[in-house]
Chain A
Amino acid sequence: MLISEKQALTERVGMLVQKYGNSRSALIPILQDIQHNFKYITDFEQQEVARLLDIHPVEVYSVISFYSFLSSKQRGKNIVRLCQSISCELEGKEKVAKAIERELGIKFGETTKDKKFTLEYTNCMGMCDQSPAMMVNEKVYSKLTPEKAVQILKEVK
């Protein structure tokens, strides 16, 4: 990483710490902020957050690894999460999954080459009455069919 890039990251993290405070409980809001804007939290940012909150980098990494909505690896611009819980499974999640995989050309857990989409499973989102359901970024789509899912993804592109 270039020094100028590092400086920019340090500055950004510094501003977040100013915004949310430097107590241990500020950790999750700071990480969520970075995650929301940049889709993942770089190694360097993790260490900067740790330095400014006076905790250890491994504690930051531990928190990130615990929550599925925080990521320490680079992901696509859009994150598609398909529900894998039992109601969605019964209502034809498998077909939707196949259609999405075909549309994006990747398997679950992967990111497209152009870094536009990351595809993964999620557990129950509480949409069992309208299953199968998926989330694209922070928006929930329900009562999916293979066609509808593909259409949604096309619009996102």
Chain B
Amino acid sequence: MRLLLLLLVSLLAACGNEQGEDSDTAGLRVYHHSSDGAPTSLDPVQAATLYANLIVVNAYDTLYSYKYLERPYALKPNLAAAMPEVSGDGLTYTIKLKRGVHFIDDPAFDGGKGREVTTADVVYSILRHFDPETRPQGAWLWQGRVAGLEEWKAAGPDYDRLPDGLEIVDDYTLRIHLLQPYPQLLYTLAMGYSGVVPREAVEAYGREFGLRPVGSGPFRVVRYDTEKLIFEPNLNWRWEPVDLAAEGFDPATQGFTGIEVLDGQRPPFVDRFEISFIKESAARWNSFTKGNEIQYAGVPVELVDRVLASKDPVSLAPEYEALYQVRSDIEAGFVYSAFNMDMEFGTDPDPQQNERNRALRCAMIKGFDWERRNDSFYVNLGKVFPGVIPPVVPEYDPDASVDSVTRDVAGARQLLAANGWTPETLPTMVYGTVGSVRSRQFYEQFRAWMMEIGFPREKIVLREFATFGDLNKRWRESQLPLISAGWGLDYPDAENTLQLFYGPNKAPGSNSSNYNNPEYDALFEQAAVMLPSPERTKIYRRMNQMVIDDCVAITGLSRTRISVWHREVLMYPDTSIVGGFFFPFVALQDEKGLRLAPEPTPEVN
């Protein structure tokens, strides 16, 4: 009965609360963003997903960030005062911090005032990845690279004791000591994982810290649940005037956005930044076209042909053209299906059997129809490429042979026949996936293709897992023959995709294919310590060719996102892991031009 009463009371309270939330937003500049998924936690150590990363890099400061507009992606200092000083051997990085950066005000601090961010906070935030209590997910970025982290962890996490590799020179100077050169280090310092958190807040909120971000980033979270997140600008943040040239503005490709008017203006240009999490693409589109709801969305696959007038270059049909802006961008990542090389059709000690197995895998690759996959699910806008170096990274080779991604049913059948594979001897392929409509369709399409090269229907078996965790468990425990996955780049360097086939990363690591080729591994280790250079690119491409020649994976395709936004919004959106830094630049315009703040905000202190 008490429970019932309690419920009734809270019901009434909930109704009461929800009234009038809008009344004080009249006249404010509100931007309504949307995202096709919700983050589960806003704690930087758990910022593993695109969705979480997007919010985390805007609520927290990272030492570095990517320039708003420059492509290929380029870093710039964020919380750091400048690009680092790197020692000649590439082992020591000295990073200066900006002075006078404060965390947002929060009851967790003494007196409720946000204190200044110092080197100790940066170090603390990285160390949290080595403390099991926090359930971190980003340790692999620094493990075995930054000196002393393993020892620090093994001795039991104690934040008052520092590892050798993270040296606090003074309150504004951090020195990082590496075990071996790590050219990707700076990229990791632009990821949400390295967002700088205050120890007071982590300790005050404990497990609920992931719900109540306390950062020093451009925005602070005023509401967060599974449906919506509301940001307000952190007025104490360094809102430097927009310098489009420094951000890498390219009038030819980006001029259509109308963001030139922002040059020299001082953000923030919005008073409120609302993000609705809408998973269903059709619902998202519907909300977008209503006019007064969300102002940013993706175009659902089902509607692309109706909404777009042309695909390359992308443009909108006349009835949408007047209202919306459109942009297509290739994802920083790709989709692929890897064979589990530990299974009976993988690497075999017997050379003859090994060759037969390779033929089987190559035949399946030949049977796979990337063109059709692209047509069915990516409206022919995806970019099919050979191997595992996706188009978005600088090492991509646009002239590589596309044989490995071209369908050849006759060739596949021939290959199978020549190597003695018959419907009876072909192995059963279990296609493991998370239960969803789309992944079922992927499976059915795959099965039909494999039937066309000679697989009996009952030998391509679906195994659906209700949670991603359950599927991931089978991958990490090397139980599934096929790993159909998408990989989102953590940084714009092909090292991030090539490590997917690096022997020592095999299950439970990220190398779910369990590909184990000593030659490949040696090249990987050689390239890992090299700075970007033509020689390194050459090595990368050789490794890529090995993956193709050994028929390790059916790969790959980088999807193209079509994003649309209302014309009154001035921005160049990019929601990938390496994007996400456009939030502070978002502006709104009306008939009179750029909408500036309604009046000087008195709260600024």
State yes or no: do A and B come from one complex.
no
Give residues in A with beta carbon < 8 Å to B. none
